[in-house]
Copies of this chain bind each other. A is one copy, B any other.
Amino acid sequence: MVRATIVGGTGYTGVELLRLLLGHPGVEIVAVTSRAEAGTALADTFPNLRGRCSLVFTDPGNIPDCDVVFFATPNGTAMAQAPGLLDRGMRIIDLAADFRLRQVAEWEHWYRQPHACPELLAEAVYGLPELNRDRIRGARIVANPGCYPTAVALGFLPLVEARLLQPESLVADAKSGVTGAGRRRELGNMFSEVSDSFKAYAVGGHRHLPEIRQLLAGVAGAAVDLVFVPHLVPMLRGIHATLHARLRSDETDLQALFEARYRSEPFVDVLPADSHPDTRSVRGSNTCRIAVHRPPGAGRVVVLSVIDNLVKGAAGQAVQNMNLMFGLEESAGLSALALLP
């Protein structure tokens, strides 16, 4: 049994991680920490756990010896504790952004704080199994990808790897359910402000933009320009990335390209031609469903990529990474079907 600790268990990625790990046959949860809720039962905060989990939140200052520590915390927490935990021989999966960007300066620019352990940025492995599966297996620190970057990267990956896109033509027009904003009590996340409405946000610059650029640049072997516009959808879960680009040529069979690229991937499902995935088809599951289209007009491609932002976009991908790191079946604990309707 892999012994796991969750640091910061009161947010939505935390409770989703709990939901998945409590159903995982190869994991024992040894502690769940929360500064604010230390001493109270997890099931008091999350009633869906009643009768199924007798754990009590513990203080984050006191992480027990275990095999892996998941950080489901605000940005800046994991980097402060990582060196000490590594010294104790534990491995780390950070669901926040502390280890996602390779360049310290860029990280500090976007996250507006000094980085606590720049030396570990180089070591950390970006936890997108479809890209870095082998390196994840051996990693001490995995930077679990952001939700938007996961959906965008999986949609663009086959095209960028095959060098099919015109530079400076990439657009990621992405839409997220409200749980992506976390559990903070902000006006902009209140039901009465976002229900029955739709809006874009952060067009001037979202923290997932440098992450996506770094990711695609790494694949392309060259800088990649793209425009990234996130939007807020009045729904709980789900990301729908609509990806636009111009093709260098019209000759490639894109459907075949995508199917070949993801044939052996357990969590990427390439839909038949002319499909339009809906986010509910992945609700609660770790699957990314993708459709590739040639819209009317020459030289264009549109890719539709959907994930559950809390599963493949956060907790599920973290479990997938843990499975790889500890030699478990990659899909262990991740086999539940999407809840539809």
Count copies of this chain in the complex. Answer: 4
Residues of B near A173 (CB, < 8 A) are 171, 173, 229, 242, 244
CA distance A64 to B299 in the complex (A): 51
Please tell me the number of chain A residues within 8 Å of chain B, measured between CB atoms.
91
Query: Does A214 make an interface contact (CB < 8 A)?
Result: no
Of residues 281 to 300 in A, which have CB atoms within 8 Å of B's CB atoms? 281-285, 287, 289, 291, 293, 295-297, 299-300
Q: Which of B204, B231, B340, B341 contacts A296 (CB 8 A)?
A: B204
Q: Across the interface, do B15 and A179 meet the contact criterion of CB distance under 8 Å?
A: no
Q: Across the interface, do A299 and B200 meet the contact criterion of CB distance under 8 Å?
A: no
Known contacts: A23-B335, A235-B196, A284-B284. The answer to whether A189 contacts B186 by CB under 8 A is no
Chain A interfacial positions (CB closer than 8 Å to B): 12, 15, 19, 22-23, 46-52, 168-169, 171, 173, 175, 177-179, 181, 183, 185-187, 189-201, 203-205, 209, 225-229, 231, 233-238, 240, 242, 244, 246, 269, 271, 274, 276-285, 287, 289, 291, 293, 295-297, 299-300, 302, 304, 306, 310, 335-341
CA distance A195 to B278 in the complex (A): 11
Q: Across the interface, do A183 and B178 meet the contact criterion of CB distance under 8 Å?
A: no
Q: Across the interface, do A196 and B196 meet the contact criterion of CB distance under 8 Å?
A: yes
Q: Which of B181, B200, B297, B340 contacts A226 (CB 8 A)?
A: B297
Known contacts: A198-B240, A235-B234. The answer to whether A299 contacts B168 by CB under 8 A is yes
Q: Across the interface, do B297 and A227 meet the contact criterion of CB distance under 8 Å?
A: yes
Known contacts: A12-B192, A235-B198, A244-B173. The answer to whether A186 contacts B187 by CB under 8 A is no
Closest to A239 in B: B198
Residues of B near A197 (CB, < 8 A) are 235, 238, 278-280, 283
User: Smallest Cβ distance from A215 to chain B, in angstroms?
Assistant: 16
